[in-house]
Amino acid sequence: MGGYAAYIWPAYAVAAIVLLALLVVTLRTLRVREAVHRTLEESRPRRRKNARGNGVAARPAVEGPEG
């Protein structure tokens, strides 16, 4: 490495530590947000299913000028 190994290897080590720290923080944040999402989903009222059973209420037909 032409005498620069004392600078290159620590730079690799610092980069690896930063990437691992970002991974850990991201995974922890994901778990927390998934828990909050689960809590919110469980606490909201359920929708009634329509005749098709897809959980979306049918829209009433809007009549145009033709009647």
Read off the pLDDT of residues 58-67 as tens digits, 9 standing for 90 and up: 566 666 666 4
pLDDT in tens, the chain (67 residues): 788 999 999 999 999 999 999 999 999 999 999 999 999 999 988 777 666 666 666 566 666 666 4
| pTM score of the predicted model | 0.58
Q: Are 1 and 8 in contact (CB under 8 A)?
A: yes
pLDDT for the residue 51: 63
Q: Return the CA Rg of the chain.
A: 28
pLDDT for the residue 47: 74
Q: What residue spans of 1-67 are helical by DSSP H?
A: 5-43
pLDDT for the residue 40: 93
